[in-house]
Amino acid sequence: MARAAHGVLAAVHDLAPSLTSRAAEIEKARRLPPDIAHAFAEAGVFRLLVPESIGGLEAPPHLAFDVFETLAEADGAAGWCALIGATSGLPAAYLPEAEARLIYGDPLAITGGVYAPTGRAAKEVDGYRLTGRWKWASGSQNCGWLMGGALLMESGKPILDAQGAPEMRMLFFPAASATLHDTWYTSGLCGTGSLDVEVTDLLVPDARAVSLSADKPVRGGATYAFPVFGLLALGIAAVALGMAKGALNDIRTLAGARVPMGSRRPMAERAAVQAAFAETTARFGAARGFFRAEVARAEAAAEGDGMLDPELRAALRLAATYATRTAAQVVDTCYDLGGGSSVFSDNPLQRRFRDVHAATQHMMIAPQTYELTGRVLLGLPTDTTSL
């Protein structure tokens, strides 16, 4: 389905200019407007990582990342919502077929949710009784189905696995069964509508509860050899790189037109600006190149024996964290080069600055991931469940 996925990339290139022109509207609305979400669905953005066997595109990861980067270059919040909606299609590879078709079968389906196990799922004969509240549910207002991570409970106590650790599952439920709490008042990624989702005493059938770490995909090919959490981290990096690319373009445009106070020359003619812009462009290219090289290496392994060993998974997470945090440094430099004009709301640099620093706060690419990946790369015993 790579050809169809390339069609998605072409479609989002066409959508990008309208996103840039509506960036202020998206931010003011504090959510992705429904018509834009619908346009993404029609373009196939939310089906990129859904298995082909149930009507998805099953795109190779690098193509999905191209889509996220392109959209984030136009508007960070739009790119983030695309990332969350698309990666929310990954569990379709784990669900029983009937449930996968129910949730993902509509070509315009939009799903979302939160992997963090902040819910509690009490085991019953015919399913789980789910109660929980999940923060950071990006794009949730546009979703037909949601999911939330939960600890499994029985007789009021956590169910433990063979190693003595609490068992966790992702549970799926219709969005209409949940309450959305408008808590999303933030400094960055304002337009993502990342509300709190809450359900109380909701019965969820057994077939709609999966473990994305302990279970194995039951359908799909090489794309699903990638770890789910690793794909999420890589997607965050793609969004951050899109923001950084947009900031570099902003400076390129600004430098030819802006004459700093006290000077008669445009920014572009100042040696300090030239040197800083060149070095920052190289830093961006190096981070993006490392990111793309590790994704290509992992795709080759997935297409080969279908195995991504812990060292390769660690390299992916390292590349994702490094790319995201380097992208923030690139945006910071561009923000500084923009001078006083960067603080005004009509300058896209201030929004990119706030958006990229919101993205760096995600736990999948937090600084602690350097410790995790460093242990693996040094050959130390490591719990790689979250890689």
pLDDT of residue 263: 62
Residue-range definition of the domain harbouring residue 60:
2-93
Q: Are strands 168-174 and 179-181 parallel, antiparallel or unpaired?
A: unpaired
Q: What is the pLDDT along the chain (387 residues), one digit of tens a residue?
A: 666 778 999 999 999 999 999 999 999 999 999 999 999 999 999 999 999 999 999 999 999 999 999 999 999 999 999 999 999 999 999 999 999 999 999 999 999 999 999 999 999 998 999 999 999 999 999 999 999 999 999 988 999 988 888 999 999 999 999 999 999 999 999 999 999 999 999 999 999 999 998 899 999 999 999 999 999 999 999 999 999 999 999 999 988 776 666 566 788 889 999 999 999 999 999 999 999 999 999 999 999 988 899 999 999 999 999 999 999 999 999 999 999 889 999 999 999 999 999 999 999 999 999 999 999 999 999 999 888
Q: Is residue 318 part of a domain?
A: yes
Q: Is residue 63 part of a domain?
A: yes
Domain endpoint, select from 157, 186, 210: 210
Burial class (CB in 10 A: 0-12, 13-18, 19+), 254: buried
Assess whether 142 and 66 both reside in one domain.
Answer: no
Nearest-5° angle of CA 255, CA 282, CA 249?
35
Domain endpoint, select from 210, 244, 268: 210
Q: Is residue 38 part of a domain?
A: yes
Is residue 194 a contact partner of residue 235, using CB atoms and an 8 Å limit?
no
pLDDT of residue 260: 65
Q: Mapped to the 3 state alphabet, what secondary structure does 134-187 carry?
A: EEEECCHHHCCEEEEEEEEEECCEECECCCCCECEEEEEEEHHHCEEECCCCCC
Q: Strand ranges (DSSP E) for 4-96? A: none
Spatial neighbors of 70 by CB under 8 A, at least 6 apart, are 9, 12, 13, 16, 79, 242
Assess whether 170 and 231 both reside in one domain.
Answer: no
Assess whether 115 and 48 both reside in one domain.
Answer: no
pLDDT of residue 1: 60
Spatial neighbors of 304 by CB under 8 A, at least 6 apart, are none
The two three-digit tokens of residue 222, written as one number:
């090489």
Is residue 140 a contact partner of residue 175, using CB atoms and an 8 Å limit?
yes
The rounded distance, in Å, linking the Cα atoms of 5 and 62 is 10
Number of domains observed in the structure of the chain:
3
- The CATH number of the domain where 88 resides is what? 1.10.540.10
pLDDT of residue 262: 55
pLDDT of residue 267: 86
Q: Is residue 73 part of a domain?
A: yes
The rounded distance, in Å, linking the Cα atoms of 231 and 61 is 8
- The CATH number of the domain where 156 resides is what? 2.40.110.10
pLDDT of residue 257: 72
Assess whether 191 and 285 both reside in one domain.
Answer: no
pLDDT of residue 306: 85
Q: Is residue 120 part of a domain?
A: yes
- The CATH number of the domain where 320 resides is what? 1.20.140.10
Q: Is residue 383 part of a domain?
A: no
The rounded distance, in Å, linking the Cα atoms of 94 and 208 is 10
Is residue 244 a contact partner of residue 251, using CB atoms and an 8 Å limit?
no
Assess whether 67 and 147 both reside in one domain.
Answer: no
Assess whether 70 and 122 both reside in one domain.
Answer: no
Assess whether 147 and 254 both reside in one domain.
Answer: no
The two three-digit tokens of residue 123, written as one number:
């085991």
Assess whether 304 and 277 both reside in one domain.
Answer: yes
Provide the 3-class DSSP secondary structure of residue 107: coil
HSE at residue 309, side-chain half, CA atoms within 13 A, is: 6
Spatial neighbors of 177 by CB under 8 A, at least 6 apart, are 199, 202
